[in-house]
A and B are shown apart, each in its own frame.
Chain A
Amino acid sequence: MLHDLVRSDLGIGLGLRSVHYGHILARRPEVDWFEILSENYMHTGGRPLHVLDQVAAHYPVVMHGVSMNIGSVDPLDRAYLRDLKALQQRCGARWISDHICWTGVQGTNLHDLLPLPYTKAALRHLIARVRQVQDLLEQPLVLENPSTYLEFTQVDMDEPTFLQELTAATGCGLLLDVNNVFVCASNHGFDAADYLRRVPWEHVVYFHLAGHTVYPTHRLDTHDQPVCREVWALYALAWQLSGGRSTLLEWDGNVPSFARTHQEARKALRHRARRPTRAAADVTVAP
């Protein structure tokens, strides 16, 4: 079943955002597919769900969440997972994705994608949880590499190895966020191109692209500006290494017009046709 997801190139999609609802419903723009933020359509019976019904009737939809808390030591929230599955049934989402992270502990949700230590113990914990979720959802879960701003000192492996072990043990899919690879490479000082060469590509279902903010000390994954040159170069490399996957642009802050957002997403067509350059590896410099 994961194979079907990996092979189903939906084209170039956009994150569905409320500021674009009016344009999308009125104009029905030619967009290959939309990704929804799952939680925006859960625990509500109002306009967002009404809009989603109409969008899902005309476009392929994918669900992307931020509150599965898959890496937490707290028990899995089964009510949340049931709601997630119900939403998928309602909108016909092709797959459900979330992040390799934890978002809270002791019942509290910090609403942040907090990093896991890449230890054998954390890996065992995550593998067991992914298997549980996949059993409950009755499908492969798709998990995204997060942007992180700290690294734990005591680790047993790096992130690509963690991804290899996780996917091999669970059969889960990966959402490879190219911007996150670049942000982490910059924040933690590793070679992003080398990272990409070690990704278990047979598990990668789709790509995320986004913009980020550069601070004097670090880069922050803000999704509030265009995709930078280095991320496009990495995308070209990722495209070549993967053989091509569904691609989605996220734009969450200072969201421009629908036309401008779509235009930015469609730049992917140009970049995927390019030969990867040295710029793809040139990301270990200070921000």
Chain B
Amino acid sequence: MSRSRQGASLRQLQQWLAFVVQHPRTADVAIAAKSAAAAFAPAEVRTGAVVRPNDRMSPTDRLQVYNGAYLARLFDVMAIDFGGVRELIGEKAFHRVVAGYVHECPSRHPNLNQLGQRFPDWLARQRPVPGGAFAVELARLELAITRAFDAPAFTPLTTTDLQTIAPGQWAKTRLTVNPSVQLLAFRHPIDAWFQAWKDERPRPPRRRGASWLCVYRKDWRVWRVPLSAAAFAVLAALQAGHALEQALGLAEGADPVGTWFQNWAADGLFSALRKGR
């Protein structure tokens, strides 16, 4: 005798329905799958032993409303957060990618805005990678933008705050990079492509070429600023908690360090400082 006749537990019913709703194909395919059939015999589901039919819809039609809405809802969220990747690989491929991603990495967070947190890493593991390494880097940029947007609140230091550091204190001073700052090192000119897409201009060719980018929030908006390799290294060292002396050792004297710090302070990239002795 099937469980539907015996009276299923709430746990069995919820696990079964969750499986059917999340199934990447259809509700009808889902109810016939081995794990679903172990809970409720497919024939009994189809004849209404679990879900009632009405005069317009069979039990599987009614289940399909939820099955279809599940992927559509998650697709909409991913399409907003990873619009660049969608543009890059095309609508059909993006749909397949999202279906695969949410099947393997379903949301486990109360906030739907967190859905894409594992997407770039998941995309990088696919073989072949849809859109190649360029798409993975683009996904990393788009995730960095959402992370900067949602980062904890902070109060940026001003240039005046930095001017309180005495010359003798600079070497051992540690600057806290504000929590919205996302530092990205790419093997392609990702930001140039992304900006062209945003501006609805022809996209530049996807050739290789290292680039470095800082994504951060200022005045409640997310900004992106390209960095040189040396500036990236210094900022990354500060973000890792190193003192200025150590961080500046990575600058190799190649760039105008003073200008960097003026610009970074003006952009509010630092939120605290611990003066050295």
Contacts and interface: CB of A to CB of B under 8 A. Distances in A.
Q: Do A and B bind each other?
A: yes
Interface of A: 39-40, 42-47, 49-50, 67, 69, 72-73, 77, 80, 102, 104-112, 114, 116-117, 119, 121-122, 125, 149-154, 187-189, 216-218, 220, 286-287
A119 B14 CA distance: 13
A141 B51 CA distance: 29
A121 B150 contact: no
Interface residues of B, number: 52
B252 to A, nearest CB: 35
Contacts of A189: 54-55
Interface of B: 4, 7-11, 13-15, 17-18, 21-22, 48-52, 54-57, 59, 61-63, 65-66, 69-70, 73-74, 106-114, 149-154, 179-180, 217, 220-221
B99 to A, nearest CB: 15
Given A105-B14, A107-B108, A44 B4 contact: no
Contacts of A220: 65
B50 A152 contact: yes
Contacts of A216: 56
Nearest to A43: B111
B110 A108 contact: no
A217 B149 contact: no
B152 A149 contact: no
Contact of B152 (A45, A107, A151, A217): A45
Given A46-B217, A187-B54, 20 more contacts: A39-B111, A39-B113, A43-B113, A44-B150, A46-B151, A47-B221, A49-B153, A67-B111, A73-B11, A109-B107, A110-B22, A125-B10, A150-B63, A150-B65, A152-B13, A153-B51, A153-B52, A154-B7, A217-B56, A218-B57
Given A67-B110, A110-B70, A218-B56, A105 B51 contact: no
Nearest to B44: A153
